[in-house]
């Protein structure tokens, strides 16, 4: 993996690589990061405020340029600038502590930039809400061009531990799906994104509860093929998506974009400093996501976040992707999910190697490579089903 901060922690280099592989430009990132190298080298928790200031300054610059382009009638240019501004600020927000006083305002600006990006960059993407247990879940809906003529298959794309629907949008996986005639619902499920930050909805083990709500919503839409609804989850979504597909039988396929067969065991490894952590202030973030306050109590709770006895109940096509050099989630967990999914009529494990790239967590070091592979598999699998 490219490591911009040669003396910096994994979390910062992982964020830089993520920004680069979701549309960021090396010159912009270098100008933002060069002044904060010393602060970042001091430790993963010490540089987050400097990181935010530097990437916010870059965001401000791009937004000013985008506004100038809009006034000049250059919508495409404005869209490209808003898209990159959103990308940078969403990643900077992701690095903040859950208790950071600025985090709510930063995230609200992320939401605003997303709307500006839709209007100028991605007019086929729009904000929607999914009814859920007396409230709603926020989501973005990407309508494939095929919906102009009728119904299209769709993927529900769900977050991991520390991502948001805005980060899901900047991956442009929805665009790969749309090019193959597939729509996408980019969902902030409980414990992630806006559902957590604005609504206070924390994560739950029974992911099928909110996943079923997403299916119920999609079945109300005239542009969705009810028999071809799939679910894809990356990182911790590699637990959520298989869990949802195991118990919500209306899903027609499932993708674990990064296996997460036993997330509870990973937490005990992280407590022992085995493996890398995805964000600074890690334990504060984890407790926030799951709605706990005591670490010892949480670790006992997290022991139940696993897929043993669950993936055996997946009865639809099931793809698992994993990086051979994943420093967050051991490769062995990808084999666990594959070996136990004995009732899937078509199961596949794809391990990405260092030689080809995409060998890190969720393939972030070569994300477009994984994105295309997943989109092709989904398109082929949907095509084999009765439309």
All structural domains of the chain = 10-114 (1.20.1440.110), 124-383 (3.40.50.1820)
Of residues 66, 100, 94, 59, the one with CA closest to residue 80: 66
Contacts 24+ apart (CB under 8 A), 51-56: 51/12, 51/15, 51/92, 51/95, 52/92, 52/93, 52/95, 52/96, 52/102, 52/106, 55/88, 55/89, 55/91, 55/92, 56/89, 56/92, 56/106
**Residue 25 confidence (pLDDT):** 97
Q: Are 360 and 327 in contact (CB under 8 A)?
A: yes
Return the pLDDT at 184.
98
pTM given for the model: 0.96
pLDDT at 74: 98
Decide the pairing of beta strands 152-158 and 318-323: unpaired
Do 81 and 93 contact (CB within 8 A), yes or no?
Answer: no
- Separation of alpha carbons 346 and 315, rounded Å: 9
Per-residue pLDDT of the chain (387 residues; tens, 9 = 90+): 999 998 889 999 999 999 999 999 999 999 999 999 988 888 777 788 899 999 999 999 999 999 999 999 999 999 999 999 999 999 999 999 999 999 999 999 999 999 999 999 999 999 999 999 999 999 999 999 999 999 999 999 999 999 999 999 999 999 999 999 999 999 999 999 999 999 999 999 999 999 999 999 999 999 999 999 999 999 999 999 999 999 999 999 999 999 999 999 999 999 888 788 889 999 999 999 999 999 999 999 999 999 999 999 999 999 999 999 999 999 999 999 999 999 999 999 999 999 999 999 999 999 999 999 999 999 999 999 975
Q: Output the pLDDT for position 40.
A: 86
The reported pLDDT for the residue numbered 173 is 98
Residue 387: per-residue pLDDT: 59
Pair 199, 111: CB distance under 8 Å: no
Query: Given this model, what pLDDT does residue 42 score?
Result: 80
């Amino acid at each position: 993996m490219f490591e911009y901060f040669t003396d910096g922690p994994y979390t910062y280099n992982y964020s830089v690589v993520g920004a680069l592989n979701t549309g960021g430009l090396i010159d912009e990132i270098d100008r933002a990061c060069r002044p904060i190298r010393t602060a970042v080298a001091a430790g993963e928790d010490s540089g987050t405020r400097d990181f935010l200031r530097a990437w916010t300054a870059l965001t401000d610059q791009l937004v000013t340029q985008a506004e100038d382009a809009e006034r000049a009638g250059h919508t495409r240019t404005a869209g490209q600038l808003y898209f990159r501004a959103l990308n940078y600020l969403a990643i900077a927000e992701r690095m903040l502590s859950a208790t950071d006083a600025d985090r709510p305002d930063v995230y609200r600006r992320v939401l605003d930039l997303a709307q500006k990006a839709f209007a100028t960059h991605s007019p086929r993407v729009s904000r929607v809400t999914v009814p859920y247990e007396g409230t709603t879940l926020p989501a973005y809906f990407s309508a494939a061009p095929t919906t102009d003529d009728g119904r299209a298959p769709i993927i529900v794309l769900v977050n991991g531990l520390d991502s948001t629907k805005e980060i899901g949008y900047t991956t442009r996986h929805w665009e790969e799906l749309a090019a193959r005639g597939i729509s996408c619902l980019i969902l902030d499920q409980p414990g992630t994104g806006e559902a957590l930050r604005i609504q206070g909805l924390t994560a739950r083990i029974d992911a099928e509860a909110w996943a079923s709500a997403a299916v119920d919503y999609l079945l109300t839409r005239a542009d969705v093929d009810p028999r071809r609804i799939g679910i894809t989850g990356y990182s911790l979504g590699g637990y959520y998506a298989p869990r949802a597909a195991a118990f919500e039988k209306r899903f027609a396929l499932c993708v674990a974009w990064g296996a997460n067969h036993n997330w509870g065991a990973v937490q005990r490894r992280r407590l022992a400093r085995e493996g890398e952590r995805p964000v600074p202030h890690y334990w504060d973030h984890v407790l926030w996501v799951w709605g706990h306050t005591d670490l010892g109590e949480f670790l006992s709770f997290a022991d139940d976040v696993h897929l043993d006895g669950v993936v055996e109940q997946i009865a639809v096509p099931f793809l698992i992707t994993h990086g051979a050099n994943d420093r967050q989630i051991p490769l062995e967990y990808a084999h666990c999910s594959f070996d136990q999914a004995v009732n899937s009529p078509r199961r596949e494990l794809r391990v990405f190697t260092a030689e080809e790239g995409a060998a890190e967590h969720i393939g972030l070091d070569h994300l477009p490579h994984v994105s295309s592979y997943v989109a092709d598999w989904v398109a082929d699998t949907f095509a084999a089903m009765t439309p």
